[in-house]
């Protein structure tokens, strides 16, 4: 009978457990300040350990073209992720943000810059067709 190494058995048992605790952001709020030319990103992302469970990567797209990417190595708050991205956008532009958790999972949010407001927030936009959100719990 062939012996199976203990380390192999531990990997088989521990890997599914670690994948099941992946914690992608639960919501993302985007706001764009046209006066300051800044995108404000706030995500609800609970963390049990700021250096083990954190938003590890943020990608920002403007009209479908990636314009910004940032790697992170810890999270500043136990309950949320905050970032301000300097960027120029004009009314009618589409902004998309993708956030990836260090333990797996991701979420994205989209915002269309309206023509009538100087500062728009993703959750307060009156036309719901302008804001789209997706969550993916697939481990990357």
Give tens-digit pLDDT for 48-72.
Answer: 999 999 999 999 999 999 999 999 9
Tell me if 43 sits within 8 A of 63, measured CB to CB: no
Q: Kindly report the pTM of this predicted structure.
A: 0.70
CA-closest candidate to residue 120, choices 81, 97, 89, 82: 89
Starting from the edge strand earliest in sequence, which strands make up the sheet with 80-86, in order? 80-86, 38-44, 27-33, 119-121
- Taken in order of first residue, the domains within the chain and their CATH numbers are 23-136 (2.60.40.10)
Lowest mean pLDDT among 3-7, 59-63, 81-85: 3-7
Q: What's the pLDDT score for residue 127?
A: 35
Starting from the edge strand earliest in sequence, which strands make up the sheet with 55-62, in order? 65-71, 55-62, 94-101, 106-112, 131-136
């Amino acid at each position: 009978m062939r012996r199976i190494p203990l380390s192999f058995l531990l990997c088989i048992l521990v890997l599914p457990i670690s994948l099941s605790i992946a914690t992608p952001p639960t919501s993302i709020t985007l706001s764009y300040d046209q006066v300051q030319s800044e995108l404000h990103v706030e995500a609800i992302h609970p963390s049990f350990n700021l250096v083990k469970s954190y938003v590890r990567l943020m990608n920002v797209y403007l009209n479908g073209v990636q314009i910004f990417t940032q790697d992170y190595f810890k999270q500043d708050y136990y309950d949320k992720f905050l970032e301000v991205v300097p960027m120029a956008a004009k009314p009618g532009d589409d902004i998309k943000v993708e956030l990836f958790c260090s333990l797996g999972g991701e979420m994205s949010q989209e915002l269309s810059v309206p023509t009538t407001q100087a500062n728009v927030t993703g959750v307060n936009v009156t036309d719901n067709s302008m804001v789209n959100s997706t969550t993916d719990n697939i481990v990357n």
